[in-house]
Structures are given as C-alpha cells and as structure tokens.
Structure 1
C-alpha cells in the first residue's frame, strides 16, 4: 500500500517488539503455568487451515513462474491460489491510465505449519518495463502463530509520480519471506483486486494532517454498556457487521475473527480489544493482535500485547477522519484512510496461548467508536470495482452523482429517500443458502452487495 517501501523494513519488523509491552518482564516473574489447574493443553480443534475462511466465490488461479504465463486478475472478483516455500508467483492486471488499482493478498499458512517471527510475504506491483509501482511486506512477528498475513499492492495515478502511469499490463509478484526454522510448505493465497475510478474533478493533494497520537477524541474508552454477543467472521468475505458499541466473542488459540465497521467520509474509527483473565501462567508474547484494514483490504494499523493470565486491553493508535487527500500523506496509517466504506477489524489469538492456557475458548471484548458525522465525499467518474465494500452514504448526502458515495452515475446506492434520521444497514454474511443480518443505525446507509458467504 502506498509508495515503495524499503526491504530493510522486513528485518526491522521482525526484530521489533510487536506484540510485546512493558509487561514483557513478567515472563521472568511467572513460572510455568500449573497445567493440572487448567486441564487439557492441546491446541484448539480449530486448525491453522481453518484460521481463515476463503470465500466460496473465489476462483482458482495458478501463480506463474514468470510474467509470460501470468494469469489475469479481474477487479471485482476474488481468487484462490498458493505460494510455494521458494520462488515467486506472478499474476497480471490490465489497467487503464486513469484508475487506481489495489491488489490485496492474504497468505494463510496451512494446518500444522511451524512459523517464525521472520516468516512472511512480500508483494510487488510492476509495470511492463519492470519498474516498481509498490513494494510492501508483512511478517508473522512476535506471536509466532500461523495467522493470515495481509499485504496490499497498488498502482496509483498521481501527479507526483512518473512511473506506472500508463495503460497496459501490470504484474503482481508475491514472494515468500522464509525465516529460519519455519515449515517449508506451501501457503494458501486469497487475491482480491480492486479498482478506484478517477474523480470527476481534481481535489487538493495536501493531506489534512496526521492524527495526534495523544488525542483521545476517537478513543473507544467512553463506549460503555452491556456487551452484545457477536461472533466474528472467518474471513474478509464473511466479516460480521458491527457499529459503534461494545461487542463480545469467544476466540480459540490460532483463530482469527473478522468484523466490518461502516465508516463514512469525515468520520474516524477507534477500537480497543480486551482479553479476559484466567489463571496466572507463563508469558506469551504477541498473544492477541488487532489489525485494521480499509475497504480495499489494505493494512491501516495494527497493535498487540503479551499475556500472563491477567486481563489485558489494547487500543488502535489514532487514525484520521476518512479523507480522499489522506493518500498523499507519508504515514501508512493516514494513507490507508483514503476512502469511505467497510473497515475491517481483525483479531487473532496466538496458537501459543493453547500451549500455556489450554484450548479455550477465551472471552474477548471489542469496543468500537465512530466519531463525527458522515459528510459528502468527492464525486467519482465511475464506480469502484467491486462497489459493495465502498458503498456508504450519509442521510441526505447521496442524492447527486458521486455525492458521498463510491461511484458516480446514480450515486451507487445513494441515501434513503426522504428526511428520515434512521438509516438501514444490510450486511450479507451468509451460511450456506445465505443469512441476512438487518440492523438499524442512526446515521448510515450501508449496502454490502455481497453474495452469500459460507462461514468456516
């Protein structure tokens, strides 16, 4: 996502303290847990292969060994592929010279895989002349748990760039970053290409500014009340819809939960995750991670903590209100909040928790806050592909082409007719034949036009 990143960042991420905090000294303060007090210490029945729910609509695609045989990825569709332990895989995009393109790659280690902190993937987008449009990577890091790794590659049309501005063929290259000691087997991939149309009229390229890291204006700490049970989805396609409020779920070691939160233009999202207490035991680094992704499944921010048996809470670092010009900022967290739509909160509980604290499940509480009133967004000369994840409109602001919606023309779903203060959210997160969850919100119309998704 964004501009070309230094490959040296891969090593820095692996060596960093992700998932560790000031309590890491507790690892020496607590002896090994009393396993007889906990019971079974086998890992959860939910295997690593089940830690991600691939969409039943995924089309199979083979990664090629070079550009000559690279298969075409069509924006609006999703694909399932695989990544070998060594060697790169190539895919092709056919792009015009006006649209921004995003390709989100989710890599999932298979059941029984051993991963290290420095295992990961790198995604490169290149033009037909081998010029890099973007280079991004992600690593397993401190949790050493086979979780889904999500990396987004981009081709951006920008007055600040000279490369990758023409129409033609572009190539997505996925590379396995192999750490020392990991299992050398294939990983599964889900690829999701997106297309963002150009604006009807150019806007300024000066970003509003990075959020104040000490600001509590978007802190979910003030979100109180009884927690509503809400099981998370198993993947992006089956993410459970949530709004501002307090939500509770059970999570097992090695499991990943996906939630979708509608965020409009001018609004900002905040979230905290709390893992409940159990018996005191050995310290587990990177026990729980919480990640935020934008509607194109692009990484925005992530946080995590270690665990010694006492309840722990972590909050996302402040992100700015959604604004088109955020894409011109130097910070990944700011650039990621470049369009309105469904933002994804993703929770992962490390497999290592099962070795120290049993198969669970463990209770996790998610507090979500959406600050500000939704505003009219920029007018687009066309529609996003696919349109569903980006379709968010505020009451009274979706009446004209592209007014606060992702797409011009008829407004891409628009707002509800009349002046009602009550808007409707329709989220399709089906199981088998399809289940429609219908909730009422105070300021939203969100239409997630997804096919019925199979829950894993």
Structure 2
C-alpha cells in the first residue's frame, strides 16, 4: 500500500465504498498482455486500421467519438467489440457505458450496440459489439471495401458520469460464410422453461480480472469471493446444440452490517465475440440472495435471424463469458471485505454439428467449444 493510499483510507470524508476504491482492493482490469496500443482518431480520415483476429488497447475520451478503420471482403461477417474499463472509484451514471457502431464509407449504419452500467450505477468493465453482417435481411454493408468503427460513451450528455478518459480493449473477429445455405429463420420453438439450478458441493475457482484472464468453468457449482467494486470474469465452453443457464448467489455477510443495496450484484453474459446476451441484478441485505439469467435458446447458427437480441446473440459455439460485478455501495453497509459468491452453471442439450464454414474463422479457435477449457475444468487447474 502506498503512502497516498494509506492516507486516503480511513479519512472521515470518504464513504467505505470510496475508501475501498482508494485502497485499490478490487484491482484493475486485466488487459490482453500482447495487445498493441492504437489511438482512436477524431475523424474517419485519420482512422487506424484494425485487423481481424487481433486485440488492441486504446483510450476513450470523456466526450466525443473515436474512429477506427476496417478493410473487409464481401463474404465474411466481422464483429468488433469494445471493452471499456473505467477507473475505480469514479462517478457512474445508470445510462452510461460504451456504444459501438460500424458504418460503411457513406456513413450508413451497419450495426450499433450499447451496454450500460445498469441499475447498480457502479463503474466497472462493460463490453459492446457491433457487426458488418452479410445477410439476406440486410440490404446495406454487403460489399467489400472500407468500413469504420465508431466508439463513444453511451451517455451523450455525460450527466453524473466520470470526467476521466477510459481505457479500451478492442477485439475483432471474422466469421466465414457457411459452405451450404441453411435456414433463414430462427428456430420457432425451444425449451424456455426455467431450468432447475445445479446442486452439489461447490468447487473453488478464482475469477479472472478481464476477458483475457477469464477462469474456465464447466457445468457444476463454483465458489469464489468478490469484493465491493470488483469485477470477476469466467468462461464456459458451450457447443452447438447446447443450452446454457447460470444462477448467482451472494452468501450471507459475516460483517454484522445492516442495510439494503437494491442492485448489489450485476451478472452479465457475453457471447464469444463479446456481444452482450443477458444480465440479472441481485439486491443484498446481508442475507443470502440469488438470481438467475433468463432462459436462453440452444446455440444455433440460425438464431441470428431472431428479432429478439437475446436469442440472436446465441448464434455461436465457443466460450461464453460470465462477468460478475459487486457494487461499490455494498462496502458502505457491509464493509470492504469479500462477499461469498456461488455460481451454479448448467450446460444441457444434445451436441450438434455446426454450420460447416466455407473457410476458417479468425482467430481460428473462436467458435470452438473450447477443448482446452474443458481439460482445465476437468483437472482443476486455476
């Protein structure tokens, strides 16, 4: 602990949540160590190129968009995700977060996506993903050429938000077309009944501090601890034809504190290209509390044709990411110590063959079910 942090901690003017942030207890977002830094341009004319399959670091200013460039063929879908990592202890507005859009050379929108901090209004890493998708449902953005990625804050007015610049992690994924034409509509029926949560003895698994360090999980009950202001990352291999569900539980507090935080835990699910799928918020009063993600369809290529974004997001096999964030406000009522976190993960359904791509995705293993992750879960490696 530095002298500056020691002086901040325990200052009467700071709440317990602010003291925890000042002490740096939750830790910073863990960026991909091999990611080169690029600067977003204020104009498309100066935009630096992003290559498929690469991860980059950049910076998002407090106001105004930044631009990046893509050079695309006329056959592949390309997904660009921006993970925004606000500094610990800063301000946060419910409607703030990150917004990503892809546009063609004439400024026409191909896709746009926004992810916000949500009801917790607690700053934490959030990701949004936008695509150049070649689809019979889309009349634009089909041709080869230059496209632009625009990243900005989700709150255009900046009310109640941090005035600081945020760090960004940018990822790009290329998906080839199927070798054979398939269904052009989403499956019209799937088991949408809430599944029974998984039971049994919990196994310890420490969550990572970023997507690149996400801890592998399989079906089962998993136990961790999470501190106020901390965000933990986990990944679950989900193959074609499989159905995913997760329940999060906050254990009872041993601090002796009292109070109620209405949006204490935020659990988000992201797909293999970091597209937001679903989330659930859990209130906390010091007693055990739980919440489950809404039922999701089996993973299928044709889900992309669904009008509901939650269904459309279940379009890939690969690693799905569970991201758990405990609001800084929890420290005000229950102290800065960790709160027990239990994740009950279910992966059901009959495995199926994938679409049979006409080429290789970039990176090549992004839509694989994750054999290495399965092995890591099986032998207990952290």
Partner of 1:351: 328
1:244 equivalent to 2:203? Answer no
Partner of 2:83: 106
Post-superposition Cα deviations, 1:240-280, rounded to whole Å, max 9, x if no partner, equal 11100000001111111111111111100010000011245
SS at match of 1:388: coil
The CA deviation at 1:48 is 8.7
Post-superposition Cα deviations, 1:174-226, rounded to whole Å, max 9, x if no partner, equal 1122442222110111000110001111101111136565x03xx251x1111
Does structure 2 retain, via aligned residues, the 8 Å contact 1:51–1:254? no
1:234 equivalent to 2:209? Answer yes
Change (3 A) 1:379 1:138: same
1:168 equivalent to 2:145? Answer yes
The CA deviation at 1:122 is 1.5
Does structure 1 retain, via aligned residues, the 8 Å contact 2:257–2:333? no
CA distance in 2, matches of 1:253, 1:439: 30
Matches within 5 A, 1:171-320: 171-176=148-153, 177=155, 178-209=157-188, 211=190, 213=192, 215-216=193-194, 219-221=195-197, 223-278=198-253, 279=256, 281-320=258-297
Does structure 2 retain, via aligned residues, the 8 Å contact 1:64–1:70? yes
The CA deviation at 1:354 is 1.4
CA distance in 2, matches of 1:280, 1:183: 29
Partner of 2:74: 97
Does structure 1 retain, via aligned residues, the 8 Å contact 2:63–2:158? no
Q: What TM-score does the superposition give when structure 2 sets the normalisation length?
A: 0.90
CA distance in 2, matches of 1:159, 1:197: 15
1:66 equivalent to 2:19? Answer no
C-alpha RMSD of the superposition: 2.1
Q: 1:439 aligns with which of 360, 378, 382?
A: 378
CA distance in 1, matches of 2:114, 2:72: 23
1:323 equivalent to 2:300? Answer yes
CA distance in 1, matches of 2:176, 2:117: 33
**What are the ranges of 5 or more consecutive residues in structure 1 without an aligned counterpart?**
1-39, 394-424, 429-435, 442-454
Structure 1 residue runs of 4 or more that deviate by more than 4 Å after TM superposition: 210-213
**What are the ranges of 5 or more consecutive residues in structure 2 without an aligned counterpart?**
1-15
Question: How many equivalent pairs are there?
Answer: 361
Matches within 5 A, 1:363-442: 363-392=340-369, 425-427=371-373, 437=376, 439=378
1:81 equivalent to 2:20? Answer no
CA distance in 2, matches of 1:388, 1:154: 19
Q: What TM-score does the superposition give when structure 1 sets the normalisation length?
A: 0.75
Q: Which range moved further: 258-267 or 110-119? A: 110-119
The CA deviation at 1:234 is 1.0
SS at match of 2:45: helix
Q: 2:113 aligns with which of 131, 136, 145?
A: 136
Does structure 2 retain, via aligned residues, the 8 Å contact 1:319–1:333? yes
Post-superposition Cα deviations, 1:389-425, rounded to whole Å, max 9, x if no partner, equal 32228xxxxxxxxxxxxxxxxxxxxxxxxxxxxxxx4
The CA deviation at 1:362 is 0.9
